[in-house]
Every structure is written in structure tokens, then in C-alpha cells.
Amino acid sequence: DIVLTQSPDTLSLSPGERATLSCRASQSVTSNYLAWYQHKPGQAPRLLIFGASSRATGIPDRFSGSGSGTDFTLTISRLEPQDFAVYYCQQYGRSPKSFGPGTKVDIK
């Protein structure tokens, strides 16, 4: 099984700052089938990025994904108040299609 590790566990930043979140896989992710989600309490997760770098429909361009193989990054260029949430990566190239443990982005 592919195990995903996310760092840091928590990122404390102010609105307007840049956020850089890391996701590392225990094995190479097939065809860069790597997604990022935003999850807020009481809501369903929201797909931000699929295929490592493609933005999902309606996602603002301040969200960007990069990486390949085993190392992936989600960047939020300028944090807006509504961006403070938990972010998960997920690999979907091989079953079981695992999620990482999440990175919490909170307000400094």
C-alpha cells in the first residue's frame, strides 16, 4: 500500500501570506494521480487539485499544485480568510487509494 506523509502537521500563518504544504509518498504515485482537498468542519471535503497540478472546476488560481513521483506540493499564494482549513492529499493511482493525515492551516 502507498503511505502518504504530509508536513507540517500545522501551519500558522496570517491572511495574505503564502502557504506551502508538502505530501510525500512511500512509493512513486502512478501517473501523478495525486489530488488535494480542502476540508472545513461540518462540510464535505472540496477537491482543489487533481493530476498533481490541474485545478478543479471553480478553484481560484491562488491554489496551485506541483510535483511528481513521490514528492508533491500544494501552494496557496496569498491566504484568504476562507482558506484556513485542513488540507489532505490523496493518491488514486493504486488501490487502496489512500489519503494523507492532513495539514491544518490556522490563523497566526
Where does this chain bind another protein (CB under 8 A)? 1, 31, 33, 35, 37, 39, 44-47, 50-51, 56-57, 86, 88, 90, 92-93, 95-102
C-alpha cell read off for 2: 502507498
The DSSP string of 90-101 is EE-SSSS-PBP-
Closest approach, Cβ 5 to another protein, in A, equals: 12
Q: How far is the CB of 15 from another protein (least distance, A)?
A: 25
Q: How far is the CB of 98 from another protein (least distance, A)?
A: 6
- Range list of β-strands (E), the chain: 4-7, 10-13, 19-25, 34-39, 46-50, 54-55, 63-68, 71-76, 86-91, 103-107
C-beta of 65 vs 79, nearer to another protein: 65
Kindly tell me which of 84 and 90 has the beta carbon lying closer to another protein.
90
User: Whose Cβ is closer to another protein: residue 1's or residue 106's?
Assistant: 1
User: Strand 19-25 relative to strand 10-13: parallel, antiparallel, unpaired?
Assistant: unpaired
Query: Cell triple for residue 82?
Result: 476562507
